[in-house]
Chain A
Amino acid sequence: MEIGFEIVEVGSVVNEPYEGGGKLSMHMHAVPLAETAAERGSVRPMVRFRNIRKSFGELEVLKGVDLDILPGEKVAVIGPSGSGKTTLGRLLMTLEEPTSGTIEVDGEYLWHMEKRGKLVRADEKHLHRMRSKIGMVFQHFNLFPHMTILRNVTEAPIRVLRMRRNEAERLALEMLDKVGLADKRDNYPSQLSGGEKQRVAIARALVMKPQVMIFDEVTSALDPELVGEVLAVIKEIAADGKMTMLLITHEMEFARDVADRVIFIADGRIVEQGPPSRIFTQPESERLQSFLGRFRAYRAGR
């Protein structure tokens, strides 16, 4: 397989067993691609962005995005910084409201609801119900500093899902074990490295069992030597196959390994998309070519 850039240190770190053990399996392309499924019209998308626009004051950040993500599909979003990738994820997590357009999750409108046959703005109750299908891992972890690691993971299941404490703790320890951090259960976030914090944040999101998970540049706040352990954990989750994933990333090797489809966003629009094997080897648009070119130059210079 020919790839448009060198695989350097990150790739080699990823392929080593990470702390906490567990084998890494290569992710398979188990799910048909969006275009082909849409042609067949058989599978209902898990997430559907329709003509989504988002402005902050005068600045239009998303200029009409259409995107269908199939159940279990792993979609990587790449693009220059400031192009609107984070905003896209935040709209899906209900952290921002779209200026226009609709988002559907699992066949239901996210930001709208039907009332007497008309589509109206969703209320908090509707958003609350829809949010239970969606999870997010943030660039800056956002762990709760006043809670132990275990409480960080159990708090939402106990309060939000009304799970019994011992049940929540059992589940939380299972998840913490999955990310290799069960032994840190009684520590506070400030006692953990960045990579460990991000793995806890992943466990905290996983324990809520969302159908769709958003990962927003989850390694870009980490020291380079800690990136691998976090990507390894995400790869392992992806390999389970069931979860629909929106992976906003600038780790190209990771996108290539994990994603079924890569979306290239520039200037608030989807410029190009396709399977990673094509996107990274035969980019069609000039924008993507120059983006990957700059990326290659950057990696070579490091």
Chain B
Amino acid sequence: MNELIPALLRGLWITVQATFGAFALACALGLILAILRRARIKWVSVPMVWLIEFIRTTPLVVQAVFMWMALPRLIGMPLSALTVGILSLGLHYSAYLSEVYRSGIEGVPRGQWEAAVALNFSPAQKWLRIILPQAIPPVLPVMGNYLIVMFKEVPVLMAITLGEMLLAANSYIASTFADGIVPYSLVALFFLAVSYPSSLLVRLMERRLNRQRGTQYGNRIRNRRSRIRGERTV
């Protein structure tokens, strides 16, 4: 027990690092994939669709062990399990996040694109100033959920010897010949202790966002309410 808890905490710390590293990668790469697959040039957009489909239809664990073997050879340099873990988890979820972005982008009315053209914004300005500021806020809660999903996926990276909690528990059991019930229960408990509050946070964010949209975008409703109360609207 005296060794188990610190080992699990070390595993938790690695899990958190892998999660945030991979999430950052998935957010950036997912956005690029989402934008490229909308490209008007077919030989840009079509391969993107294939790539996204390929990543989503093969298991993460296969992608991870493949990269674990192939990446060091490709660059001729040893890579840590954490690095490959972040790369593989991040790449895998970039395909999912690109779909999240896509739904956000498709939620922006066509007229917004047309106004951006009519005002002569460059493609980069159009994305940064007009489209993304409207596309991303509505999908932030979904992105938050993916963060939690990715956190729970980290034990898959045990396959590439990443020292996360499940591997720590296994090592402990192997070296002390202890029964698995307590170590594995503790692993589950640790996941619960992080995931559950996080999901509450995401839900809070969702509610906050809806309220914000209520003040900015859907102001009519608020105006109507305050009109009923006989107040002046701003």
Instruction: Tell me what chain B mostly uses at the interface: helix, strand, loop, or mixed.
Output: helix
Interface: A146 (CB within 8 A)? yes
A156 touches B233 (CB 8 A): no
Contact B219 A146 (CB under 8 A): no
- Who on chain B is nearest to A137 by CB? B118
If A138-B111, A146-B216 touch, does A191 touch B117 (CB 8 Å cutoff)? no
Residues of A within 8 A of B114 (CB): 93, 95, 138, 142
Do A160 and B121 touch across chains, with their CB atoms under 8 A apart? yes
Q: Does B119 contact A (CB under 8 A)?
A: yes
Distance between Cα atoms of A205 and B119 in the complex (Å): 7
> Which stretch of B6-14, B92-100, B126-134 is in the interface?
B126-134
Given known contacts A159-B121, A187-B234, A144 and B219 CB-to-CB distance under 8 angstroms? no
Cβ of A228 within 8 Å of any chain B Cβ, yes or no, is: no
Scan residues 170-214 of chain B and give those whose CB is less than 8 A from a CB of chain A: none
**Residue interface bits A181-212, CB-to-B below 8 A is 1, else 0:** 00000011011000000000000110010000
The verdict on B80 contacting chain A, using a C-beta distance below 8 Å, is no
Query: How many residues does chain A have at the interface if contact means C-beta atoms less than 8 Å apart?
Result: 29
Inter-chain CA distance A141–B120, complex, in Å, is: 16
Q: Return the CB mask of A89-117 against B: 1 if under 8 Å, else 0.
A: 00001110000000000000000000000
Known A-B contacts A142-B112, A142-B115; A131 and B234 likewise in contact (beta carbons under 8 Å): no
Residue of B nearest to A133 (CB): B120
Kindly list chain B residues whose C-beta atoms are within 8 Å of the C-beta of A128.
120, 122
Measured in the bound complex, the distance between the Cα atoms of B218 and A188 in whole Å is: 10
Q: Does B220 contact A (CB under 8 A)?
A: yes
B223 within 8 A of A: yes
Q: Out of A95, A146, A188, A208, which one reaches B133, CB within 8 Å?
A: A146
Checking B109, B119, B234 against A156 with a beta-carbon cut-off of 8 angstroms, the contacting residue is B119
The chain B residue with its CB closest to the CB of A156 is B119
- Secondary structure of the A side of the interface? loop
Q: Which of A93, A132, A208 contacts B117 (CB 8 A)?
A: A93
**What 1/0 flags go to B141-159 for Cβ under 8 Å of A?**
0000000000000000000
Cross-interface CB contact of B118 among A93, A140, A144, A155, cutoff 8 Å: A93
In the complex, whether A135 has a CB less than 8 A from a CB of chain B is yes
Quick check: A94 and B117 within 8 Å, CB to CB?
Answer: yes
Q: Do the beta carbons of A136 and B219 come within 8 Å of each other?
A: no
Asked if A95 meets B125 with Cβ closer than 8 Å, knowing A145-B134, A145-B217, A191-B223, the reply is no
Q: Are B120 and A156 in contact (CB under 8 A)?
A: yes
Q: How far apart sit A124 and B115, CA to CA, in the bound complex (Å)?
A: 17
| CB <8 Å contact, A156 and B121 | yes
Chain B residues with CB under 8 A of A144: 112, 115, 130, 134
**Complex CA distance for A30 and B122, rounded to whole angstroms:** 36
* Bound complex: CA A128 to CA B234 (Å): 38
With a cutoff of 8 Å between Cβ atoms, the chain A residues found around residue B130 in the complex are: 144
Q: Are A140 and B120 interface neighbours, CB within 8 A?
A: no
Known: A142-B115, A144-B115. A188 touches B120 (CB 8 A): no
Q: How far is the CA of A135 from the CA of B118 in the complex (A)?
A: 6
Chain A residue at smallest Cβ distance from B220: A190
Are A190 and B118 in touch, CB under 8 angstroms? no
B154 to chain A, nearest CB (A): 35
**Beta-carbon contacts under 8 Å, A222-251 to B:** none
Interface residues of A (CB under 8 A from B): 93-95, 124, 128, 131-132, 134-136, 138, 140-146, 155-156, 159-160, 187-188, 190-191, 204-205, 208
A-B contact pairs, 7 of them (CB 8 A): A131-B120, A138-B115, A141-B111, A142-B111, A142-B115, A160-B125, A190-B217
Given A143-B115, A190-B216, A191-B234, 11 additional A-B pairs, CB 8 A: A93-B118, A94-B117, A124-B123, A128-B120, A131-B118, A144-B112, A146-B216, A146-B217, A156-B120, A188-B219, A205-B119
Listed from nearest, the 10 A-B pairs whose CB atoms lie closest are A142-B111, A142-B115, A156-B119, A190-B219, A136-B118, A131-B120, A191-B219, A160-B120, A146-B133, A159-B125
